[in-house]
Amino acid sequence: MSYPVLVRGLTKTFYDESRGEIRAVDGIDFECGEGEIFGLLGANGAGKTTTLRMLSTILTPTSGSAAILNHDVVRDPEGVRKHLGFYSAGTALYPRLTARETIEFFARINQYPSSRVPERVRYLVDRFGISKYADVRVEKLSTGMKQKVSLARTVAHDPPIIIFDEPTVGLDVLNALEAQQTIKELRDEGKTIIFSTHIMSEAERLCDRIAIIHGGRILDCDTLAGLREKTGKHYLEDIFVQYAGRPAE
Amino acid sequence: MNWGTLRLLYIHELKMLLRARRTVVMSIVVPALIMPIVLVGSKYSTDRRARALAETTYRYVVTGPEAGRVRGLIRDNVDGTLPQFLPEETSAADPARSLENGLIHFYIQTSRNPADAVPVVQIVFRGDRDVSRNGSERMSDLLRRARRNQADVLLAARGFPAGPNQVFPVEPESIASAAQVTGSDVGRFLTVILVMLMFTGGSIVAMDIIAGEKERGTLETLLTTAAGRAEIVTAKQLAITSVGIFIALIQALNFLIYIRFRLIELPAGFAIELPLVSILNLLLLFLPLAAAIAAVLLMLSAYAKTYKEAQLYFFPVYLLGLVPALAAVLPGIRSRSAIALVPIANVSVAVREILMGRPDQPMIFVTFGVMAVTGIWLMRTSARMLTREDIIAPGHFEAETLLGGPGLFRKRVLRWFALMWAVIFAVAANIPQLSTFRAQLLFNEVVVFAGASLLMIKVYRLNIREALSLRSVRPAVWLAALIAIPAGHVMSFAVFRLVNTVIPAPQQLLEQFSRDFIPKDMPAWELYFFLAVLPAICEEIGFRGVLLYGLRRKLKPVELALAVGLIFGMFHITLFRIVPTAFMGVILTAVAVMTGSIFPGILIHMGNNAFAVWAADSGLALQSLRWSDYGAAALIFALAMWIMWRTRASSSGCP
Ligand SMILES: Nc1ncnc2c1ncn2[C@@H]1O[C@H](COP(=O)(O)OP(=O)(O)O)[C@@H](O)[C@H]1O
Ligand SMILES: [Mg+2]
């Protein structure tokens, strides 16, 4: 069968002036099924962001391949991005647009059928509960409000595949829970979701399958139950340490 | 190109710009307001001054033995033909004192030349006071006219038919129309002004549009959308171009309004004629000019990591853009020359020809072509910069800043060379003790080039053998280096001549420079030591040693040779020497890269300089060589390079 997301032998080598060659991602394979939340669990510097950036075509792979709905990230980057929503702590909003304008802009730029854009904007404003401040410029909004607008702009064009790179970094507990809730709802609507985090509890709670990534390699990839069975440990934290070894290296 | 996306992005960019109040105020409102304020202010003050001068009654004193005659002359001639000059004689015991105290505006001192008894009239005034200067000028006009009238009267009395002015009238008459003269004058500066307006107007916008986006983190968001890089860059480019053109238009309109309301007086005989063809031609040149400048600004913005960094780069780039725009100011440059290939300079020259009513249509198309190619190339480069990976994930690790060592050295090497440059041209040039031939060379070569290089090696704990490429090479390489010396010298002279066809070097200036600078009585061995041996060793240590080592990992070999060569050229700042020296620098770098050793370069450098000294001494005229001779030199040179290339693997293989 064909997977919505298919990654084979994906590798990214950075060349840093002082550190020399860095294999940030080192030949990883995985695939995600429709309507699942696929988790990338790894410590800082494990290669999560680099992997997801290659999937979203911001970075070009050094070798290997990745495809989103059969669009190859190297050969057809625009086709990939059209079907993708990408959310990370790094993807900021335009401060001088209003919330409503933001959603509209991202719907159009991602080629959502233009006749249906107004309807889509209304729906999202409603769904994310931002109608009260929909016409206020983003720069005036609080962190929580911004986060909602950010989520709305990520799915503005109704993409079948959504990538969340450590979405809860820098959020307080309530906002983080709300983001998690949204991600679950999106999964239930049938979206394929790739979700990266270094927080064990988050991965435990959300992910249908978890890939443990360390030093640019995927050490194992299974459901939580599968991982428990393989390691004989219950808590994800212990499972993770068993795979990754002592964290202090 | 997806036109729908492009349109959407373009509108998006303009909307963002218009909403950035600071940007709008700084780039549109302030420039539009400053001009009228300055003009109104200066008109007000000149008007006031003129009125004040006209209404003044000039008090003066006449002294000396010829006072009576001078008084008579003033009386007879002050008949109002000199407009608004109201002189009034008073008396003063000590005119010099009175003038000093401001009681009178000037005084007239008469005397008689003791030899031939001819009367002498002197007007004494205070140059630091407007009124005093003005009064004395008017008085001196008046007396001069009086003298002429008197001469005419005397001549007529002796039977001369008419005033001397009518005997042999000389009347120059230009066959150029008033419009052509005006066009020639305006044309000199029009391009420079436009370039200035485009640069300053576009810059604030350009910095916001990529560097600002990077800083705010919206660029990453934009890059993950379905919009292509080409559309993104083009939209940004169009936005900058539009704003630049808009600002230029506003300023032009401003200007017309001032002329209309006479805030600016036009010079006498001012006439502009612009037939439709000329307007079309100007557009043909200005549109790609605007686009190219926008592309430069965009590139700068894409290159910088932050807004601040972009601002830092702006000024040098701006100056660099203005220099070619001044081409039309130079006398005698025509667009039918190599200048047509120099971007911006070609527009500057062609625009002047159009305004003079002498457009060179084929060259206008050539200029358009060159500008269009330049613009497209710049745009593609900026598009590539957007795909550069560190644009999104900029240099993570600043650890080397703490650790020091070679990693940090590579980051700092350019700063060191900038500092060395500043020391040589700012410090050394202003210390008189360093201005003699020997002192200057010793300072530049030993202290700056060699000294700073060794200091860098010490500070960053570099491995000296690696940093200076201290490696032996095969005998064949030495042979090739020997062959390369005369051939390379002749070629760099050919480059000098080529450059000369674009920017003519004043020959006397060059000769005078070396005449004054080099002591005449210097023995030959010392001349060779200071001009050949010393520079070869010290400069090679600096440029092909540490600089090359510092840039090596960052650049590909060809870029490396160009970069080191260019920096080398920048240290030989006389405009006419930059290019030939840079050319030599590129060659020397290539040699160092190919052989992996500093020594062959030292030999070539030394030989080249010694050759130059010898040629100057023995009067060998390289100017008399024909282009075929240069071709032969190039062949020999290529042979030498080929030998080094062949042997490169074995000599540069070791780590
Ligand atoms: N642009 C870059 N240049 C050099 N090294 C990088 C760059 N981006 C990431 N890295 C390195 O790649 C590795 C993986 O980083 P990243 O993918 O950001 O990890 P994570 O997101 O899991 O924290 C790290 O060692 C990081 O230092
Ligand atoms: Mg990360």
For A92-145, write each residue's pLDDT tens digit: 899 999 999 999 999 999 999 999 999 999 999 999 999 999 999 999 999 889
Give tens-digit pLDDT for A162-199.
999 999 988 889 999 999 999 999 999 999 999 999 99
- Complex confidence, ipTM: 0.92
Whether residues B222 and B126 share a domain: the answer is no
How many domains are there within chain B? Answer: 3
Domain of B561 in residue numbering reads as: 408-652
Residue B150 is assigned to a structural domain of this protein: yes
Nearest CA owner, ligand 1 atom 25: A45
Residue B36 is assigned to a structural domain of this protein: no
3-state DSSP assignment of residue A221: strand
Q: Which two tokens stand for residue B78?
A: 């002050």
Q: Which of B396, B431, B452 is the last residue of a domain?
A: B396
Residue B530 is assigned to a structural domain of this protein: yes
pLDDT for position A249 = 41
Residue B385 is assigned to a structural domain of this protein: yes
Phi and psi torsions of A14, nearest 5°: -95, 155
Residue B11 is assigned to a structural domain of this protein: no
Give tens-digit pLDDT for A12-26.
988 766 667 789 999
Whether residues B257 and B332 share a domain: the answer is yes
Residue B12 is assigned to a structural domain of this protein: no
CATH, residue B74: 3.40.190.10
Nearest CA owner, ligand 1 atom 18: A49
Whether residues B67 and B100 share a domain: the answer is yes
Phi and psi torsions of B629, nearest 5°: -65, -40
Residue A167 Cα to ligand 2 middle (Å) = 10
At residue B356's C-alpha, the angle toward residues B351 and B361, to 5°, is: 55
Q: Give every residue of chain B whose pLDDT is below 70, as ranges.
A: 79-84, 161-169, 263, 387-404, 427-429, 502-518, 573-576, 619-621, 648-655
pLDDT for position B23 = 76
A-chain CB neighbours of B226 within 8 Å are: 78, 81-82, 109-111, 157
Whether residues B388 and B261 share a domain: the answer is yes
B221, closest residue in chain A (CA to CA): A91
pLDDT for position B119 = 80
Whether residues B414 and B357 share a domain: the answer is no
Residue B404 Cα to ligand 2 middle (Å) = 27
Whether residues B105 and B200 share a domain: the answer is no
Whether residues B387 and B416 share a domain: the answer is no
Q: Given an 8 Å threshold on Cβ–Cβ distance, is A60 in contact with B389? A: yes
Residue A49 Cα to ligand 2 middle (Å) = 4
The DSSP code for B629 is H
Whether residues B358 and B424 share a domain: the answer is no
Q: Which two tokens stand for residue B231?
A: 């559309």
Whether residues B305 and B371 share a domain: the answer is yes
Asked if B236 and B210 touch (Cβ cutoff 8 Å), the reply is yes
Its sign, for the CA torsion B315, B316, B321, B326, is: positive
Rounded distance, CA B496 to CA B491, Å?
Answer: 9
3-state DSSP assignment of residue B536: helix
Nearest-atom number in ligand 1 for the CA of A49 is: 21
Rounded distance, CA A73 to CA A53, Å?
Answer: 10
| Residue B91 CB neighbours (<10 A) | 10
Beta strands across the sheet bearing A209-214: A84-88, A161-165, A192-197, A37-41, A209-214, A217-222
Q: Which of B158, B187, B221 is the last residue of a domain?
A: B158
pLDDT for position B399 = 40
B16, closest residue in chain A (CA to CA): A96
Q: Which of B90, B124, B158 is the last residue of a domain?
A: B158
The DSSP code for B167 is T
Give tens-digit pLDDT for A147-157.
999 999 999 99
Q: Which of A74, A93, A96 to mutate to test the interface with B (most CBs of B within 10 A)?
A: A96
Name residue B593's amino acid.
Answer: V
Whether residues B437 and B523 share a domain: the answer is yes
pLDDT for position B401 = 46
A to B CB pairs, distance under 8 Å: 88
A-chain CB neighbours of B221 within 8 Å are: 86, 91-93, 153
Whether residues B465 and B556 share a domain: the answer is yes
For ligand 1, say whether the CB of B173 is within 6 Å of any of its atoms. no
Whether residues B374 and B433 share a domain: the answer is no
